[in-house]
Structure 1
Amino acid sequence: MRRAAAPSDEACGLCAAPLGERHDHVLDDRDESLLCACRACVLLFGEGTGHFRPVPSRRLRLDGVRPQDLGAPVGLAFFTVAADGTVSARYPSPAGAAGWTVDPDAWAGAVAACPPLGELRPHVEALLVNTLNGADERWLVPVTDCHRLVAAVRMSWKGLSGGTRVRPEIEAFFARLAEGGQP
């Protein structure tokens, strides 16, 4: 029986085994939901086995891609590729992740300028960009990092402009990413 683990459960969303603080994730292709997963389930239900896909852990700093060329109306966004090649962009907001569809020609230009973008695994990896307040961050990351950033923005946002806590949260997130840690 499949059970989706709540964040406080610390249990595998596939077999209900207890999980540690650091654990893996899988994406359910049926509804694009992310599930916490134990290592055994990630290996058992790994790529090529049914509708679950493991979320990779690679994090790679990129250059060559200009977020403004992708039509990003905001300075903090992440881009994912669907199995059909459609590219979606989302940005953290106090209400969650809002988004738009990226122009295919703009994405093709970004891939030409930054070849690792052509290797993004559908739905489970993302291009994450931050140009807020003069930042110049462009990363290939697991999609779970993007969801962590959305949660950090939601939890720290106050008032109409974000208040005083959201900016330090975003900066700390990218600092941990640059240090090689999990944000």
Structure 2
Amino acid sequence: MRQLSRPGADLLRGLRRPAPPRPERCAFCGTGLPAGHRHLADTGERALACACTACALLFQQPGAGGGRYRAVPDRVLTDPVNGLDDAAWAALRIPVTTAFLLRGADSARPVLCYPSPAGATEAELEPAVWRTVFGRSRLAAALEPDVEALLLRRTRDRIQCLLVPVDLCYELVGRMRLRWQGFDGGAEAHAELDAFFAALEARARPLPKEAPA
């Protein structure tokens, strides 16, 4: 077998080497973005757009961009007083242990999403179920439509409920899709889930007493 010359071998190794990831840029001004950059919710397309700090601050102004884009907040809140019980979980009919709920400003029906090997699986939640489960929830009352979500997780001893930025929910979906193995996700996905929620709980703050009830 004929061996490649040194230049030819170097070229072949270069072709086999994966290309470096393209740097992320602001969707509005084209500025390069660091890790942990802000996001804007495109309410018309139900999508997220990467944004630099300056553009994110611009779209925080009322009416900016015709109201189509909304800056995603960075708060993570819990309500130590009002939690979810087994009856509430049963009413939601969530087929997995982790899910998040979204509300759109222009939609009467909340959307229930949960991670899967194919990405985020979505189902509309009946408004009556939302009222039954979250009608007296201070976290649900504080939820900002389109840009925040209620993130739920059921473990052996409790049901966690946090108000989180919507981009964190889709980050979780991506992590689960990357790690998922077998029917229930496998050990790596479960470990990733544990680490994700541990970081969220360390970051979370109790809901202020003056929050709407």
With the length of structure 1 as denominator, give the TM-score of the two structures: 0.87
User: Does 1:33 pair with 2:33?
Assistant: no
Query: What is the CA distance between 1:135 and its match in structure 2?
Result: 4.8
1:4 matched to which residue of 2? none
Q: Which residue of the partner structure matches residue 182 of structure 2?
A: 159
Mapped to 2, the partners of 1:112 and 1:155 lie a distance apart of 35
Identity of aligned residues (%): 37
Specify the alignment match of 2:103 in structure 1: 81
- The one of the two structures with greater contact order (alpha-carbon pairs below 8 A, sep at least 6) is 2
What secondary structure, in the 3-state scheme, does the structure 2 residue paired with 1:85 have? coil
Quote the Cα distance in structure 2 between the aligned partners of 1:69 and 1:115: 19
Is residue 2:83 matched to residue 1:64?
Answer: yes
- What is the alpha-carbon distance in structure 2 between the residues aligned to residue 175 and residue 8 of structure 1? 30
Of 88-97 and 9-18, the range deviating more from structure 2? 9-18
2:43, 2:100 → 1: CA distance?
19
Distance 1:134 1:13 in 2: 43
Question: Cα distance, 1:143 vs. partner?
Answer: 0.5
**1:24-64, CA deviations, whole angstroms, 9 ceiling, x for partnerless residues?**
11011221110111111112223421211001111112333
Secondary structure of 2:203's aligned partner: coil
Tell me which of 35, 42, 48 is aligned to 2:56.
42
Q: TM-score by structure 2 length?
A: 0.76
Deviates more, 1:121-130 or 1:134-143: 134-143
Q: Rate the CA distance shift 1:14–1:67 in 2: closer, same or farther, 3 A.
A: farther
Give 1:116's aligned residue: 139
* Aligned counterpart, 2:6: none
Which residue identity is paired with 2:73?
A: P
Structure 1 or 2: larger helix share? 2
Q: How many pairs were matched up?
A: 175
Local SS of the residue matching 1:141: strand
The separation in 1 between residues aligned to 2:90 and 2:165, in whole angstroms, is: 22
8 Å Cα contact 1:67-1:129 kept in structure 2: no
Please name the residue that 2:118 is paired with. Answer: 95
RMSD: 1.8
Which deviates further from its counterpart, 10-19 or 67-76? 67-76
Q: Equivalents in 2 of 1:134, 1:126: separation in Å?
A: 23
